[in-house]
Structure 1
Amino acid sequence: MSEPASAPAQPAAPLALEEAQRRLVWMAPALPIDHRASAECAGFYLAHPVTARRSQPEAPLSAMDGYALRAADLPGPWRVVGESAAGHPFAGAVASGEAVRISTGAVVPEGADMVLMQEDARREGDRLVLTGTPPTPPAAHVRAAGMDFLADAPLLAPGTRIGPAQIALAIAAGHAYLRVRRPVRLAIIDCGDELAAPGKPLGPHQIPSSNGAMLAAMAAALPVEVTRIGPVPDRLDDLVAALDQAAGADVVVTSGGASVGDHDLVRPALAALGVTLDFWRVAIKPGKPLLVGRRVRAASREGAAPQVVLGLPGNPASAFVTGFLFLLPLLRAALGAAEPLPRTIPARLAQDMAAGGGRTEFLRARYDGGVVTLDPLQDSGAITSLARANALVVRQARAPAAPAGTQVAAYLLESGGIA
């Protein structure tokens, strides 16, 4: 990411979503690069391009079980002179009137330019006769040398997410190891006097602390090393101590305490630790009181790049939406993703949608076959509708009411919004 000419000034009004995401992605910490076994790179992003070190295949291969022969000798008959099996090529060359028994994946012998499928031939001892239709064109069942890729060909660009197919391609291209950024060290802190650790007895004034587990599960699809801290009570000293405990993390996420109430102490705690506030409040619903800052760490600590701190709202739907729109893109950017931001897909409303308010809204919905059904329960404190949803429908600020059938933009949740 190219750095702006100067650090942007803190806005007086809430930032638009796109501007807030741009600034956050720019702040992503630069992580050290690891050499990791290709087979262990699932979920990482390439830090360097992958170029083929060999051709695939390096010699013509048969795509069928049958017989390798010369097309010029059609319609036969032929004399079978040997066999080419996968990993055990025929040692000689095929002369006119000769055929070699060949199996799928075996090297096509020198001199042969056609593979006749075994279903189209009959063998009588060493004699082979045509019984069916030869392939058209003659080389239809031959995988040419370099069909998949040639040596020195560019295969994968930096920033590509590595999945099963990318692992197979890299290994086939001769790369036993790949260069990727090391996993992100992520600390998640639950804040609030009302929170109790899961499984603990609850008073009437308490609720189980669930946001931290939710955010950790959201991040689990990426290469992250998560440290959970809390729940931390609404006392400045305790919150400062929790944030200091997370000093070795690349990214710190707090849940709750980022608003403007008397007991919202995340900002004062960050200020006490010298965290520079980059922006606070984003014009979205749910999730307006989002806080983002940076903490310069002592050079003696491993990785002296500034730590990025995200203060997320405490309501579960707000924490989820801001985690989806901000935490996951930040983690992807730190890991070197070429496209860290989630992308919307088009969908059609199953029912009427009311007009939008003054902020861009993200409505919980079910996506099925290109149609989205809005959940009737959109309160930011509701978890049931969050659990039912597999999509977020975007309702732009001050958007007019939309009838059923209107096309809208939606984020798919199960993929993290990444295709």
Structure 2
Amino acid sequence: MSPLLSVRDAHARVIAAFEALPAETISVADAAGRVLAVAPAARLTQPPSDLSAMDGYAMRAADVPAAPTTLKLVGQAPAGGSYDHALKPGETVRIFTGGPLPTGADAIVIQEDTKAEGDRITILEAPRPGRHIRKAGLDFAAGDQPLAVGRTLTTRDVALAAAMNLPWLSVRRKPRVAILSTGDELVLPGEPVGRNQIVSSSGIAVAALVRGWGGEPILFDIARDDAGLIESCIAAGAQHDLLITLGGASVGDHDLVQDALKAQGFAMDFWRIAMRPGKPLMFAAKDRARVLGLPGNPVSTMVCALLFLKPAIDRMLGQPGDLVGTVPARLAVDVKMNDTREDYVRSALSRAADGTLTVTPHPVQDSSMLSVLAESSAFLVRPAHDPARKAGEIVQVVDLAGLPGGY
């Protein structure tokens, strides 16, 4: 039997099989969470001219060498309006936040530092040139491209794009991911559960992950252990950007799924990797169709989805598709030597006042226990053949709180 594929080798093979999907144009109002395909250029300069940042009076600083000094009020410049004459020596204009500076003005004195008597405005604090003024282009200039290709747009980015006078943005099309659970033993949540059946959670979990990572999930009905039915489901699922299969058959993981894939001409890239949980991972391809077979065990499904499904989605969104990153943490307890498989140990992560992290593995690591996964805030990553380690040693962990998509 050939040796098991390492996590990194399997990850490299998966992401090499995907490329960025075509772009589509959408309303800026719908762009939050989408990935930019084209860097948009600002269609105007913001602010378009020098504006007041406060309510007060605009003046020439040279006219008020010392306070108090009295100037003549000659007009006003509200937001959305303007004083369309050049200031003459000794003149001032009432100005409001967002109002454009009159020609010749170079300073603002706030309302609280003045005294008004009709058209006589006494300046109680000498102005400084440039104070309380938002210079033209302070935010951005026409033609600027502050949002880069490949950026996942936040609500802040959407606000910026709207301010740049962009009604439309070019983004990557969402990857369409079909999800197929197989097995006579599975029932959907809420359905009667037979004596030898279990509630299917993996498909629902994967659909939520796909949606959170920027894809569009298509959740198929559960396929019973029937070769013809599984073949037809695979044929339908392969029409999407990616087909995820979950589990195989009661007699062995992926037995019927593998046979169905081979019958339709799919080439099997790999189907076993050296990791825990998640050894029976499968990847197959045919022309432009890609199939990622995740273990049916729910915890294994979730771990493998993070390591292989998310990078595949990232690649289709025009991003690098890197393996999930780790951070250093201090072990809270001793751990035994690891075996030949890279282990993703469900753990609790705590942070001290100085920012240092401490990781505590859960005492039970059964890969069927979703309650332990739900309680976990980290994966302690133990390389294959990692030696026994003592409490206090530094190890690498995946901080689940820092992951996107609500993992």
State the match for 2:238 in structure 1: 247
> Which of 325, 331, 345 matches 1:363?
345
Give 1:226 deviation, angstroms: 1.9
Give 1:359 deviation, angstroms: 2.1
Quote the Cα distance in structure 2 between the aligned partners of 1:259 and 1:140: 75
Normalised by the length of structure 2, the TM-score is 0.89
Deviates more, 1:283-292 or 1:354-363: 354-363
What is the 5 A alignment of 1:232-271?
232-257=223-248, 261=252, 264-271=255-262
Q: For 1:163-216, what per-residue CA distance to the aligned partner results, in whole angstroms no more than 9, with x for missing partners? A: 112212222223221111222111101122221122111122111011000111
Deviates more, 1:389-398 or 1:197-206: 389-398
Give 1:252 deviation, angstroms: 0.5
Quote the Cα distance in structure 2 between the aligned partners of 1:405 and 1:134: 60
Q: Kindly indicate whether the alpha-carbon contact (under 8 Å) linking 1:59 and 1:144 is maintained by their aligned counterparts in 2.
A: yes
Q: For 1:70-95, what per-residue CA distance to the aligned partner results, in whole angstroms no more than 9, with x for missing partners? A: 22222332222222222222222333
State the match for 1:91 in structure 2: 84
Quote the Cα distance in structure 2 between the aligned partners of 1:356 and 1:46: 42
State the match for 2:33 in structure 1: 43
Give 1:103 deviation, angstroms: 2.1
Amino acid at match of 2:271: W
SS at structure 1 position matched to 2:44: coil
SS at structure 2 position matched to 1:156: coil
What is the 5 A alignment of 1:159-238?
159-238=150-229
Give 1:320 deviation, angstroms: 0.1
Matched, 1:110 2:97: no
Give 1:126 deviation, angstroms: 2.4
Give 1:408 deviation, angstroms: 3.3
Q: Kindly indicate whether the alpha-carbon contact (under 8 Å) linking 1:342 and 1:417 is maintained by their aligned counterparts in 2.
A: no
Amino acid at match of 2:139: D
Give 1:382 deviation, angstroms: 0.7
Matched, 1:378 2:365: yes
Deviates more, 1:76-85 or 1:342-351: 342-351
Relative distance call for 1:195 and 1:87 in structure 2 (3 A) is same
SS at structure 2 position matched to 1:248: coil
Give 1:258 deviation, angstroms: 8.6
Q: Please, which runs of 5 or more residues in structure 1 have no aligned partner? A: 1-10, 297-305
Quote the Cα distance in structure 2 between the aligned partners of 1:203 and 1:176: 54
Quote the Cα distance in structure 2 between the aligned partners of 1:122 and 1:350: 67
Deviates more, 1:161-170 or 1:319-328: 161-170
Q: Please, which runs of 5 or more residues in structure 2 have no aligned partner? A: 352-356
State the match for 1:312 in structure 2: 294
Quote the Cα distance in structure 2 between the aligned partners of 1:124 and 1:339: 67
State the match for 1:130 in structure 2: 123
Matched, 1:401 2:394: no
Amino acid at match of 2:296: G
Quote the Cα distance in structure 2 between the aligned partners of 1:371 and 1:110: 61
Give 1:29 deviation, angstroms: 4.8
State the match for 1:388 in structure 2: 375
Quote the Cα distance in structure 2 between the aligned partners of 1:339 and 1:93: 58
Give 1:245 deviation, angstroms: 2.5
Give 1:248 deviation, angstroms: 2.1
Quote the Cα distance in structure 2 between the aligned partners of 1:343 and 1:366: 17
Relative distance call for 1:418 and 1:382 in structure 2 (3 A) is closer
Quote the Cα distance in structure 2 between the aligned partners of 1:132 and 1:407: 59
State the match for 2:312 in structure 1: 330
Deviates more, 1:350-359 or 1:87-96: 350-359
SS at structure 2 position matched to 1:77: strand
Give 1:418 deviation, angstroms: 8.5
The count of corresponding residues between Structure 1 and Structure 2 is 398
SS at structure 1 position matched to 2:252: coil
Q: Kindly indicate whether the alpha-carbon contact (under 8 Å) linking 1:258 and 1:289 is maintained by their aligned counterparts in 2.
A: no
Quote the Cα distance in structure 2 between the aligned partners of 1:325 and 1:258: 24
Amino acid at match of 1:359: R
Q: Kindly indicate whether the alpha-carbon contact (under 8 Å) linking 2:183 and 2:249 is maintained by their aligned counterparts in 1.
A: no
Q: Kindly indicate whether the alpha-carbon contact (under 8 Å) linking 1:361 and 1:394 is maintained by their aligned counterparts in 2.
A: yes
Amino acid at match of 1:325: L
SS at structure 1 position matched to 2:240: coil
Q: Kindly indicate whether the alpha-carbon contact (under 8 Å) linking 2:238 and 2:290 is maintained by their aligned counterparts in 1.
A: no
Quote the Cα distance in structure 1 between the aligned partners of 2:346 and 2:290: 28
Relative distance call for 1:339 and 1:237 in structure 2 (3 A) is closer
State the match for 2:73 in structure 1: 80
Q: Kindly indicate whether the alpha-carbon contact (under 8 Å) linking 2:184 and 2:250 is maintained by their aligned counterparts in 1.
A: no
Relative distance call for 1:333 and 1:125 in structure 2 (3 A) is same
What's the C-alpha RMSD, in Å, of the aligned pairs? 2.6
Amino acid at match of 2:381: V
Relative distance call for 1:342 and 1:41 in structure 2 (3 A) is farther
Relative distance call for 1:385 and 1:91 in structure 2 (3 A) is same
Relative distance call for 1:126 and 1:390 in structure 2 (3 A) is farther
State the match for 1:70 in structure 2: 60
Deviates more, 1:86-95 or 1:403-412: 403-412
Give 1:259 deviation, angstroms: 11
State the match for 1:303 in structure 2: none
Relative distance call for 1:89 and 1:284 in structure 2 (3 A) is farther
Identity %: 41
